[in-house]
Structure 1
Amino acid sequence: MHVRHLTVADFRSYASADLPLETGVTTLVGLNGQGKTNLVEAVGYLATLSSHRVATDQPLVRFGAEQAVIRAAVVRDGRETLVELELNPGRANRARLNRSPVPRPREVLGTLRTVLFAPEDLALVKGDPSERRRFVDDLLVARQPRWAGVRSDYDRILKQRNALLKSAAPVLRRGRRPPPRPGTEPPEEAQASALHTLDVWNDHLSTVGAQLLYARLRLLRDLGPYLAKAYDEVSAGQSDARVSYRSSLREEAAAQLAAGEVPDVEVLRAELLATLEEVRGREVERGVSLVGPHRDDLVLTLGDLPAKGYASHGESWSFALGLKLAAYQLLRHDLGEDPVLVLDDVFAELDVGRRERLAAMVADCEQVLITAAVDADVPASLLGRTYAVSLGEVVLRE
């Protein structure tokens, strides 16, 4: 798999840009703020429908423009597909495949698959649990695009359940019945109605949440061996890198998941329901959902110690890089083809040894896109086709 041509219009700093690409290594060289990362960000957005730099689409649209367009010709197994995204902040985005509109943007997921490593990925080790949840869920979708729908369903259910907990809290709390008003339900009936509604949302949350949890657990089980190998190669065998799952379920079930067990979906669903029932009082008091995949975390360890708080800066970089390279190798194995590998301004963050080891590891990838401030940041073995980027101008070096 590779991108043959990338076009953007009113995306970030570009009124327009056309970038012909080839297999092998392509390097975009330019000082900070010149627009090189914007181009690989566009490639990543086509693959994931999200940016690795911002949480919303508004910053992706050039100032003064109403919409941005990203278009790429993607080659897989000798066949070319044109994928287009129209970004409309405040309104629904639109997508096309081979110039034909598709019902929803997520219909294009799977047309292009990328693995992107950027300085922001240090947050996988040092940041909040949300960063690690996003990593595993994005990898799920890259592996099987149907999980995008499951994630969307879960987010919708969670939002509605939280709204119920917040709005119905005064009714649900014991000893705090609101006085009846003319034409309203008596307190006991209002509480029974709210409890019934909460039970319905518990059922929805546990059903969809168990599917997502099961998929995450299977993914981590498959990812583990690739992570151990990738970290060993990047760090020259300095320590044992592992990842485990920290669940919000009850203690015994959480311990089983942390040990690497992958129960059936129905078992996970029943455990989610039981845990929700156990924490109902606390949820009602706080007005928020305290159990489910949205409260879980990945535990990254080096040897016997957690990486967060104990790993050095270099070890943290190696771990984050190991996770991304493991994701690449897992997708390569599953799909029988190479995703596009994007290395966004990362060589400047690595010491010479790690740079050279990374270069050796990606030498056989079908397509690698690299950004760097100066040529000297990139190992000589990876300086292939090179574009100079300056103030939004992209020029091929002869």
Structure 2
Amino acid sequence: MFVRELHLRDFRSWQAADLELETGATVFTGRNGFGKTNLLEALFYLATLRSHRVSSDAPLVHAGSTSALVTATVENDGRELTAELRINADGANKASINRSPARRPRDLLGILRAVLFAPEDLSLVRGDPGDRRRFIDELVAQRGPRWVAARADYDRVLRQRSALLKTAASAMRRGGEQADSIISTLDVWDGQLAELGGQVTAARLAVLGELEPHFTGSYASIAPHSRPATLRYRASGGLEFEETTPEAIGDALATRLVELRDKEIERGMCLVGPHRDDIDIVLGSDVAKGFASHGESWSLALALRLGSVELTRAEGVEPVIMLDDVFAELDAKRRAKLVEFTAGAEQLLITAAVAEDIPGEIGGRRIGVDVIDDETGRRSEVVVQSAVATVESEPVQSERVQSDTGVSDE
């Protein structure tokens, strides 16, 4: 699988960008703040319907615009599909496939499979549970639209149930018909939340179970003298279940919601469910967060991404691998392991602030990202180098090919 064309309009720093990409390695170089990361972010958003940098869509839209447009043509085993997504600063996004409107943006999922390595990956080990939930949900999402429908419905029910809980305590104190109405409505939301929560959790557990051996093996190859690394799903609110089917998890969640109802009403919030779950990254017998050293944390984060690539390959898909300025964060040993692992990638997209950070073994095309600043504002420009750069090659001359991009958000 590889991206043959990428077109951006009003996406973050890019007022307009039109790139023809190739198989093999492509390296985007430029100073921090010039917008190179935004190119990878656009592709990752198309693959997962999420940014790896922000939690809302508004920052993705270029200042002064109401929407951004991301279009990519993806080739996979001789089949070509063009996925297009209009990201609106306000309101629902719109998608199309081969220029025909899609029913929902999530219909794009599965067209592009990508794994993104970024400096933010350290938060997978050291950050909040939300970072790890986002990681596993991204893996679930790339398996196709049906895998994310339950999560979207779960989030909708959660918002409505949470809003009800915020007003429930005062209504219960007053008693009467209003209290009866609160209980009746909570019964309805509890049933829906439990059913959808069972589906979301079961999908996560299935992906986590498939990912773990790849993660464990990747970590062992990166840190052969360290203790073994494993993954463990930790349900919130004291929820326990013996079987991992959606039905069994849903039944257990429904029971727990009843048990926690008084406490939830008192606190005005939902205390159990996949929105509060966590994934423990375990090193030996210890949870890595707050325990692993800086080097161990980077090795674990790298192993999660390497494992994600292997998981996708096990499904019969060669994902697009994207490395967002990660070589600057890694020591020589981890750099070498990453170079070795990505050597066989069908398409490898890399960003680097300093070209010298890219190991000499990585050849491929070089694309420079620059900016200009004039009376119309700050705009980026793309500079394409015309020769393959390898460890043995001579420096090549650059050719400016485009200068119609906007203010950088990188």
Structure 1 length normalisation: TM-score? Answer: 0.92
What is the SS of the residue equivalent to 2:209?
A: helix
Pick from 377, 386, 394: which aligns with 2:357? 377
Matched-pair contact (CA < 8 Å) for 1:143–1:331: no
Structure 1 residue 234: deviation in Å? 2.3
Which residue of structure 1 lines up, in the alignment, with residue 17 of structure 2? 17
Matched-pair contact (CA < 8 Å) for 2:109–2:143: no
Matched-pair contact (CA < 8 Å) for 1:72–1:83: yes
The letter of the residue matching 2:281 is: L
Post-superposition CA distance 1:302-343 (Å, at most 9, x none): 112211111111111111111111111111111x12111111
Structure 1 residue 15: deviation in Å? 1.7
Which residue of structure 2 lines up, in the alignment, with residue 148 of structure 1? 148
Unaligned runs of 5+ in 2: 372-379, 387-410
Structure 1 residue 237: deviation in Å? 4.3
- 1: CA distance between counterparts of 2:225 and 2:317? 28
Which residue of structure 1 lines up, in the alignment, with residue 163 of structure 2? 163
Structure 1 residue 218: deviation in Å? 1.7
Which residue of structure 1 lines up, in the alignment, with residue 181 of structure 2? 193
What is the SS of the residue equivalent to 1:22?
A: coil
Stretch moving more, 375-384 or 286-295: 375-384
Structure 1 residue 278 corresponds to structure 2 residue 269: no
- 2: CA distance between counterparts of 1:284 and 1:214? 27
- 2: CA distance between counterparts of 1:211 and 1:57? 26
Pick from 338, 352, 365: which aligns with 1:358? 338
Change (3 A) 1:271 1:249: farther
Structure 1 residue 347 corresponds to structure 2 residue 335: no
Change (3 A) 1:88 1:250: closer
User: Aligned ranges for residues 227-376 of structure 1 at < 5 Å?
Assistant: 227-250=215-238, 253=240, 262-334=243-315, 336-376=316-356
The letter of the residue matching 1:231 is: Y
Structure 1 residue 5: deviation in Å? 0.9
- 2: CA distance between counterparts of 1:93 and 1:143? 20
The letter of the residue matching 2:115 is: V
Post-superposition CA distance 1:195-228 (Å, at most 9, x none): 1211111111111101111111122111110001
Matched-pair contact (CA < 8 Å) for 1:67–1:89: yes
Which residue of structure 2 lines up, in the alignment, with residue 393 of structure 1? 381
Matched-pair contact (CA < 8 Å) for 1:74–1:82: yes
The letter of the residue matching 2:338 is: L
Structure 1 residue 192: deviation in Å? 2.3
- 2: CA distance between counterparts of 1:188 and 1:314? 60
Which residue of structure 1 lines up, in the alignment, with residue 398 of structure 2? none
Matched-pair contact (CA < 8 Å) for 1:95–1:102: yes
The letter of the residue matching 1:368 is: L
Stretch moving more, 319-328 or 263-272: 263-272
What is the SS of the residue equivalent to 2:314?
A: helix
- 2: CA distance between counterparts of 1:294 and 1:66? 30
Structure 1 residue 249: deviation in Å? 4.9
Which residue of structure 2 lines up, in the alignment, with residue 180 of structure 1? none
Aligned residues: 378
Which residue of structure 2 lines up, in the alignment, with residue 259 of structure 1? none
The letter of the residue matching 1:8 is: L
Matched-pair contact (CA < 8 Å) for 1:82–1:99: yes
What is the SS of the residue equivalent to 1:382?
A: coil
- 1: CA distance between counterparts of 2:245 and 2:336? 43
What is the SS of the residue equivalent to 1:380?
A: coil
Structure 1 residue 283: deviation in Å? 0.1
Unaligned runs of 5+ in 1: 178-186, 257-261
The letter of the residue matching 1:135 is: F
Matched-pair contact (CA < 8 Å) for 1:387–1:396: yes
What is the SS of the residue equivalent to 1:131?
A: helix
| CA RMSD in angstroms, aligned pairs only | 1.4
Matched-pair contact (CA < 8 Å) for 2:130–2:278: yes
Question: Alignment identity in percent?
Answer: 51
Which residue of structure 1 lines up, in the alignment, with residue 99 of structure 2? 99
- 1: CA distance between counterparts of 2:274 and 2:311? 22
- 1: CA distance between counterparts of 2:103 and 2:296? 44
- 1: CA distance between counterparts of 2:67 and 2:192? 36
Structure 2 length normalisation: TM-score? Answer: 0.89
Structure 1 residue 86: deviation in Å? 1.2
Structure 1 residue 239: deviation in Å? 2.6
Structure 1 residue 264: deviation in Å? 2.6
- 1: CA distance between counterparts of 2:92 and 2:248? 37
Stretch moving more, 351-360 or 210-219: 210-219
What is the SS of the residue equivalent to 2:170?
A: helix
- 1: CA distance between counterparts of 2:263 and 2:233? 23
Change (3 A) 1:394 1:234: farther
Where is the helix percentage greater, Structure 1 or Structure 2? 1
The letter of the residue matching 1:241 is: A
The letter of the residue matching 1:74 is: V
What is the SS of the residue equivalent to 2:6?
A: strand
Structure 1 residue 250: deviation in Å? 3.4
Which residue of structure 2 lines up, in the alignment, with residue 183 of structure 1? none
What is the SS of the residue equivalent to 2:323?
A: strand
- 2: CA distance between counterparts of 1:43 and 1:77? 19
Which residue of structure 1 lines up, in the alignment, with residue 401 of structure 2? none
Structure 1 residue 379: deviation in Å? 1.2
Which residue of structure 2 lines up, in the alignment, with residue 109 of structure 1? 109
Structure 1 residue 144: deviation in Å? 3.5
Which residue of structure 2 lines up, in the alignment, with residue 5 of structure 1? 5
Structure 1 residue 136: deviation in Å? 0.8
What is the SS of the residue equivalent to 1:381?
A: coil
